[in-house]
Amino acid sequence: MQTEVIDIKTEYDRALEKSAEFLRHGEVVGIPTETVYGLAANTFDENAVKKIFLAKGRPADNPLIVHICDISGLSALVKEIPEKVKIMAKHFWPGPLTMIMKKSERISDTVSGGLDTVAVRMPKSEYARAIIKASGVPLAAPSANLSGSPSPTNAKYVFDDMNGRIPLIIDGGSCEIGVESTVISFAEDPPRLLRPGGVTLEEMTELIGEITVDKAVLDRLQEGAKAASPGMKYKHYAPRAEITLIKSDFENFKRLTESENGVTALCFDGEGERLHCPFVEYGDGNDGYSQSARLFDALRELDEMGAEKVYARCPDTSGMGLAVYNRLIRACGFKIRVL
Ligand code: TXA
Ligand code: MG
């Protein structure tokens, strides 16, 4: 299969026409969002949705997020809309927030991974919403990476993973947020945070009160335990390099990188030039948003450099830092050292 890439910034009309045409004909299209790129298909076309799993190599029990462009699209997807969801939607949609509810009979088991719930998000990206609108249906879309590798934050990375596997990628430039959306379940009360992302725990708690933080957010899922969010149990965001997360101040981190051979550092902006080893920087040490915007690119850059042994600086876990920490502990396979 030939994979065409259309730049929506320079060819807006053609990008929308072509993506709508493919989506209506049951094909999978790579689309930009403000978080990461997605692999989209018509939610109501089971064969099309199956092609997503095939293109990604994704396990069938890992459900997809359904993307809508308008709040009026929500009621067809869910059994009922809880009060707290209405409040959250008003405040954070469109945006990097995915809310899980009991699914309606229109959502197939293929989309929901066999669960009785469905995850829904209205992206902030104008391009994403224009593509959904042009297709005329809600779009089921996971991140556009091959299963297990870091989510792509630009069209080139989608192409690297999906060339020959899907017919079309829409290039909308770099993703502003750079890590995936926050996933929170309203199928229970208090709601449960399953994946931290572009909307922070603090912001949500301020709006709706108590939120349970699922164990898998900050830790490895215990052997045999049932994952509230199936995606949490799979190896994720993992570059080829072996990464260890180092909880320490900069001076101790520097000493560690100097005590061994063959080390590459994954550090904060401005720190690299003070080290004596190759490095990749992943944002301002005091700004979680700057880190999230850089993290997945930085992980792919480590691979491009051929890095083998990587020591990574540890982010602060408040605000947006929680999402960065959550991705990093998975990228390093939970190898953490405290100095
Ligand atoms: O920002 C994002 O959320 C991106 C863009 C494309 O929108 N999408 C994305 O999708 O990250 P994906 O499939 O890579 O991650 C969705 C996560 C997975 O961990 C999945 O297990 C979980 O959400 N999930 C989806 N539906 C669920 C459900 N009904 N119950 C529990 N977890 C669910
Ligand atoms: Mg993903």
Q: pLDDT of 6-57, one tens digit each?
A: 999 999 999 999 999 999 999 999 999 999 999 999 999 999 999 999 999 9
Containing H/E element for 328? Answer: helix 321-331
**Token pair for 219:** 């830790």
- For the stretch 45-91, pLDDT in tens is 999 999 999 999 999 999 999 999 999 999 999 999 999 999 999 99
Supply angle C-alpha 104, 109, 111, rounded to 5.
85
- For the stretch 249-302, pLDDT in tens is 999 999 999 999 999 999 999 999 999 999 999 999 999 999 999 999 999 899
Distance CA 127, CA 130 (A): 5
Asked whether residue 141 carries a pLDDT value surpassing 80, the answer given is: yes
Which atom in ligand 1 lies closest to the alpha carbon of residue 123?
A: 7
- For the stretch 165-217, pLDDT in tens is 999 999 999 999 999 999 999 999 999 999 999 999 999 999 999 999 999 99
pLDDT (0 to 100) of residue 224: 67
Asked whether residue 240 carries a pLDDT value surpassing 90, the answer given is: no
Task: Choose the residue to mutate in 78, 151, 229, 237 for probing ligand 1, maximizing ligand atoms within 8 Å of C-beta.
Answer: 229
Which protein residues touch ligand 1 with a CB less than 6 Å away?
Answer: 33, 35-36, 38, 62-65, 98, 100, 112, 115, 117-119, 121, 141-143, 180-181, 183, 194-195, 229-231
* Cβ count near 216 (within 10 Å): 21
CB 43 within 8 A of CB 139: yes
- CA dihedral sign, ordered 151, 62, 327, 82: positive
Residue with tokens 């959306």: 181
Q: What is the mean pLDDT of the chain?
A: 95
Closest by CA to 127, choosing from 162, 150, 155, is 155
pLDDT (0 to 100) of residue 228: 77
Residue nearest to atom 17 of ligand 1 (CA): 231
Distance CA 54, CA 57 (A): 5
